[in-house]
Every structure is written in C-alpha cells, then in structure tokens.
Chains A and B, each alone.
Chain A
Amino acid sequence: MKIFVTTKRVTDPDVKIKVKPDGSGIATEGIDYKVNPFDEIAVEEAIRINEKQGGEVVVVSIGSGASTKEVRSGLAMGAQRGILVKTDDYLDSLGTATVLKKIVDDEKPDLILMGKQAVDGDNNQVGQILADMLGYAQACFASKIELGDDQKTARVTREVDGGFDHVEVDLPAVITADLRLNEPRYASLPGIMKAKKKPINEMELSSLGLDTTPKVVWHKFSEPAERKAGIKVPDVPTLVSKLKDEAKVL
C-alpha cells in the first residue's frame, strides 16, 4: 500500500511568536521551525499502517528549501522517501491543495494522510479541498483508523462536537489526523542515520505549471488583546447573577 503523508514546516509551537512592528507578518528572526504536530501524528499513523501492511510511505511537503529538514524528520521516523515542492511564496489552502493534487495525480497513492490543520495558519481546509478536487472520500479529525481486510476501505472514528462519528470510506481517500489518533514516536538515532540515505525528490513549484495565486490575502497581523485578570466569586448565586447581569450570557 502506498501512503502519502504531508508535513509542513511551521514555527515552533512552544515558542511565543511576535508580530512584526508594521503588522505585515510574523517576526521570524531567531525562531525555530518544526514539523507541524498534527502532521507528525499523521506520519506516525502512516508508518504504523506500513509496518503492518508493507508498501511505501512517502512524505510530501511544500515550502522553502529549508523544509528538507522537516521531510527528513519524517524519514527518520520511518517513512521511505520524500517529495519537496520548493517555493518561497505564500500559498493559501486552495493553492496548497492544487499543488498536492498534481503530486497525487502523478504518484497515485492508495491513501493520503494529513494533519487536520497546521498550527501556524490554523486553516483546517487543505485536506477537505484536496479530497474534493480529487473526487475522493474524506474523513477528517480521525482518532482511530482501521483498514478493511481487502485494503479497499477504511473505517474511521472522527472526533466531532459532542461525540464520535464512525464512517467507512472507500480508498483512495483523504484522512486527516486529530490529536488523539496516536502518540508519535521519537526519531531514533539509528533512524536519523538511515534517513540520511533516503531520497528526497526536490522540485521547483514554478516548474509544475500550476496557478497558485492566493485567493486569500493577509492584510494585517496584530497581537491579541491582553487578557484581563479574572475574579473570584464567593458562591454559585453570585456567579449566576454576574453571568446574567454583567456578562449577559445567561
């Protein structure tokens, strides 16, 4: 079984980011980059399926030349090869899906695993758009994935508001990983050494002949308003009256 898994290079989620003084973007100076945590979960799931079923796990990424590090992180965890579409341009969700569709058309994987969203833009759209473009089934926010015996279907437990949604999808399909799908392994030292020799096919976005002009444009960035300190209330009646009269939410 050939599994595609996408990884995105994002600013380290453990580091507090700052907005540039002119509001044109995020100040990237001195910021570390990591694999999007949801993508790491998707990579882990792909490797687990691969360990059982055999086949191939291909890590796919779009980003600057430096993104080979994030692709190689996936290879160090156990994926077999990588594809990096290089660009320094900003892509919106539609643009990203357009590029991924092209790669999928060329490579024809049996399953596409993605993080449900990247923790930088938090758009939560690429998986859904890609599935639609390809005409594939989609199962987003997966917390459990079981492949059918014939490997033609997958049963997916989706985390939705208020509970779980159980769906069965025909493969190939796009499945996006939620937080509780698994706990990703650490890239081991021998894994890192093996990854050194695994191939990454790098290509320029401009060479693919795709229109990825963003339809969504960022106008301005600003820091969220500072939170005011909360208050402590002595008892439930006071709480209810404050929610009713002051916050007016009841």
Chain B
Amino acid sequence: MALNYDLSEEQQILRSSVRKFAKDVIKPVARELDEREEFSYDTMKSMAELGLFGVFVSPEHGGQGLDYVSYIIATEEIARVDGSHAATVAAGNSLGIGPLNYYGSEEQKKKYLPKLCAGQGLWGFGLTEPNAGSDAGGSQTTAVPDGNEWVINGSKIFITNAANKISMGVTIQAVTGKRPDGKKELSCFLVEHGTKGFTAKEMHGKLMWRSSNTAELYFEDCRIPRENLLGRQGDGFHQMLSTLDGGRLSIGAMGLGCGQGAFDLALAYSQERQQFGRPICKFQAIAFKLADMAMEIELARNLMYKAGWLRDNQRPFAQEAAMAKLYCSELARRVSNHAVQIHGGYGLMKEYDVERFYRDAKFLEIGEGTSEVQRIVISRQIGC
C-alpha cells in the first residue's frame, strides 16, 4: 500500500487557494501587462502577501516552510493563468532565494532571506553570460581578491528579477583562479544593488514573459567585501549546477501550468464555438486533439510531482528533474500549439489569451538549460 497519489490536506488547500488567487488577481491584468511589457508591483505585493516567496525556506529565516511538491503546485497554478507572473515566482524562489538558502552563511541568510521571503525584495541569479550559455563553466567574469575585497569585472545576460525597483542584489558566478587540473576555478558571490561599479539594465523586446523583469548586468571594477563569497571558494560551479537541478523543477512546473492553462482555454472555446451546426469539440479532429492534450498533461503531472516527491524525500532527483523539465516544456509547446490551432483565426489575436501561452511556452525549451542540454543530462544519468 505504499504507492499513494493523494495530495495532503495542506497541498489541496494550497492548490485551491492559489488557483482562486491566480484567477481573481492575476488573470484580469495579465494580458495588458504583457502588452505593455510592464512588471506589476501591485500583483507582486499580492503574491508576496499570499506567501509565494520563500515557499520552501524554514520559518526561522522568514520562509513558509512548505515542501517542494507544494512549491510545484503553487508555481503550476500561477503558470496556468500567466507565464510572466509564474516566472517572477519561480525565479524568485529557486534562483534568487534558493542559493542563499542552501549555501549562505547564517549571517548572509539573516541579512537577506527575511526580506526576500516577505517579497519586499527580489534577488537575481547571474550565471549566463553573452559568451557562456549552455557552456555554463565558460564564464569570463572574474573576481580577484584585493585586501579585504573582491574586485569583479565582466557581464551577465538574461537575468530574471535583477533590474527593477525592488531588486536587492544578485548571486553571480565568477572565475577566481585555476584549478590544479587546469580548468577554471569558479566561485559565487553576492553583489548588492547600489554597489559602485555594478549596473543592472532592464532588457526589452522579449517574445515571451513580457511582464517579468529581465536584466543585463555589468561589473566594472566592482568591489565587494570579502565575506560576500557564497560558501567556499571554488564551489561555484557545483552550487550553480545544483541550483539548476531545483530550477528545472520550477520550469517543469511552469510548463505543466502553461499546458494546462492552454488546454483549459482550448476546451472551453471548442465547447462554445459552433461550426456546421454543432460545437467544434464534437468533431473527432478536434476531440482527439483534446484527448491527446489531456493525456499528455496527466503524464506530465505524474512525472513532475514524482520529481518533487523524490526531492522532498531526500532521494536523488537530478535525472527526474531533467526529464520533467524536458517533458513539461515540450508539452507546453505542443499543447499551446494545438490550443491556438483549435482557436483558428481568433487564436492569432491578442485579445485571446491563448496566443500569450503560445509565446510563453517557447521560453521553457530554452531557459535554465535548453532541451538539448536536458538530453545531455539525462543521457549521462542513464549511462551513455
């Protein structure tokens, strides 16, 4: 009797509360914010009040102390109505708060986590550089010790939550020397906004996630105190990779939510839209499409929750996290594509939400490790 698909009472209450919140608070404004490419401090405040930041951080540091499956459910429910808001939540938790929570010293945690968990501030995760994408170890940003300080030079790109009014700082990976095997020694650092020599610039003109905040970061002889090293010198690459394992669960949950949201829209439309004298969902061409979509979403949810369950039970989850990220993001693309097809001409119009899901889905196959990189991760895990 060990296998059990029931969500706990708390997880069920959380699902219905976040679902209602997303429908009442985010859905009515999502389309316009996307159109204006605008980050909303109002919805950010409401999401913070609901407790969507620091979901898995212990209450001692200001978090909510929930499990990872709860976090996945919350992210899924937000993504079900809007990708941009889900991005703010997912990046805020797994990339912003995550590394501080797992690798920060007690002092660093006390300094940053309570504000971040209260959603009063956001924290970025600077890994990607103009010339270091899938090759995340190829960072060119450097950090050189000088007395009681580190001097940082370089730049980062596509960093979520790192350039708006409430951005408090970023965790960045930088080269701190050479390892005995000749490879770069990488370490992570905490850089606060307002530090001299550090500039964060908002990026515009995105295809998707248009109301989430994306930044370019520049470091020019940026000096930070010695104690702003995160964890130990040389642990940076490991910290980043392990953060991405968790991040993959976030992106997977976003893919699941995006797919479910696009499916909801397609099903409702197909039941209302009449052609040849009956609702189009009565035609097999449409009905079978919807059946396949529903089946794939069910599969995706099972894989996604299992990956979260493994993590909650302190089991290895890297392989399942990569599988869930890969499957859910490709599911989101397939389902949103079918959903637009079912909407016909209307699906191409901005006044129908489904076109936003179609655009937002594309990110998921690229961000936090492309689908190609996920296949590398999985193939290594299975012994290729």
Q: Which residue of B lies closest to A73 (CB)?
A: B13
Q: Which residue of A lies closest to B54 (CB)?
A: A189
Whole-angstrom distance between the alpha carbons of A193 and B51 in the complex?
11
Question: Which of B9, B18, B20, B64 touches A69 (beta carbons < 8 Å)?
Answer: B9
Whole-angstrom distance between the alpha carbons of A76 and B10 in the complex?
9
B66 to chain A, nearest CB (A): 6
Residues in A with CB closer than 8 Å to B20 are: 186
Q: Which size bracket describes the interface of B in this complex?
A: 20 to 34
Whether, in the assembled complex, A27 has its beta carbon less than 8 Å from a beta carbon of chain B, the answer is no
Contact across chains for A195 and B64 when beta carbons are under 8 A apart: no
Whether, in the assembled complex, A187 has its beta carbon less than 8 Å from a beta carbon of chain B, the answer is yes
Contact across chains for B13 and A187 when beta carbons are under 8 A apart: yes
Whether, in the assembled complex, B298 has its beta carbon less than 8 Å from a beta carbon of chain A, the answer is no
Pick the most buried of B16, B21, B55: most chain A CB atoms within 10 A of its CB. B16
Residues in A with CB closer than 8 Å to B50 are: 186, 188-189
Residues in B with CB closer than 8 Å to A189 are: 14, 50-52, 55, 64, 66, 70, 74
Residues in B with CB closer than 8 Å to A34 are: 16
Residues in A with CB closer than 8 Å to B70 are: 189
What sequence of 0s and 1s flags, for each residue 172-193 of chain A, a beta carbon within 8 Å of any chain B beta carbon?
0000000000000011111111
Contact across chains for A69 and B13 when beta carbons are under 8 A apart: yes
Whole-angstrom distance between the alpha carbons of A103 and B59 in the complex?
35
Whether, in the assembled complex, B279 has its beta carbon less than 8 Å from a beta carbon of chain A, the answer is no
Residues in B with CB closer than 8 Å to A195 are: 10, 13
B291 to chain A, nearest CB (A): 16
Residues in B with CB closer than 8 Å to A69 are: 9, 12-13
Question: Which of A68, A188, A190, A191 touches B9 (beta carbons < 8 Å)?
Answer: A68
Whole-angstrom distance between the alpha carbons of A188 and B59 in the complex?
14
Residues in A with CB closer than 8 Å to B52 are: 189
B75 to chain A, nearest CB (A): 12
B67-83 with Cβ < 8 A to chain A = 70, 74
Whole-angstrom distance between the alpha carbons of A214 and B380 in the complex?
65
Q: A186-B17, A186-B50, A189-B51 are in contact. Are A72 and B9 (CB under 8 A)?
A: yes
Whole-angstrom distance between the alpha carbons of A186 and B55 in the complex?
16
Q: A68-B9, A69-B9, A69-B12 are in contact. Are A190 and B51 (CB under 8 A)?
A: yes
Whole-angstrom distance between the alpha carbons of A68 and B13 in the complex?
11
Whole-angstrom distance between the alpha carbons of A73 and B18 in the complex?
13
Whether, in the assembled complex, A196 has its beta carbon less than 8 Å from a beta carbon of chain B, the answer is yes
Whole-angstrom distance between the alpha carbons of A193 and B55 in the complex?
11
Whether, in the assembled complex, B28 has its beta carbon less than 8 Å from a beta carbon of chain A, the answer is no
Contact across chains for A188 and B13 when beta carbons are under 8 A apart: no
Whole-angstrom distance between the alpha carbons of A35 and B226 in the complex?
54
Question: Which of A72, A73, A186, A193 touches B64 (beta carbons < 8 Å)?
Answer: A193
Contact across chains for B10 and A188 when beta carbons are under 8 A apart: no
Whether, in the assembled complex, B49 has its beta carbon less than 8 Å from a beta carbon of chain A, the answer is yes
Residues in A with CB closer than 8 Å to B9 are: 68-69, 72
A163 to chain B, nearest CB (A): 29
Contact across chains for A76 and B65 when beta carbons are under 8 A apart: no
A59-76 with Cβ < 8 A to chain B = 68-69, 72-73, 76
Whole-angstrom distance between the alpha carbons of A72 and B52 in the complex?
20
Contact across chains for A187 and B59 when beta carbons are under 8 A apart: no
A and B contact pairs by CB, cutoff 8 A, 15 listed: A186-B18, A186-B20, A187-B13, A187-B14, A188-B17, A188-B51, A189-B14, A189-B70, A189-B74, A190-B51, A190-B64, A192-B13, A192-B66, A193-B10, A195-B13
Chain A interfacial positions (CB closer than 8 Å to B): 34, 68-69, 72-73, 76, 186-193, 195-196
Knowing that A187-B17, A188-B50 touch, tell me 19 more A-B residue pairs with CB under 8 angstroms: A68-B9, A69-B12, A73-B13, A73-B17, A76-B17, A186-B17, A186-B50, A187-B13, A187-B14, A188-B49, A189-B55, A189-B64, A192-B14, A192-B17, A193-B10, A193-B59, A193-B65, A193-B66, A195-B10
Across the A-B interface, the 9 shortest Cβ-Cβ residue pairs? A189-B51, A187-B17, A189-B64, A188-B51, A186-B21, A186-B17, A190-B51, A69-B9, A73-B13
Chain B interfacial positions (CB closer than 8 Å to A): 9-10, 12-14, 16-18, 20-21, 49-52, 55, 59, 64-66, 70, 74
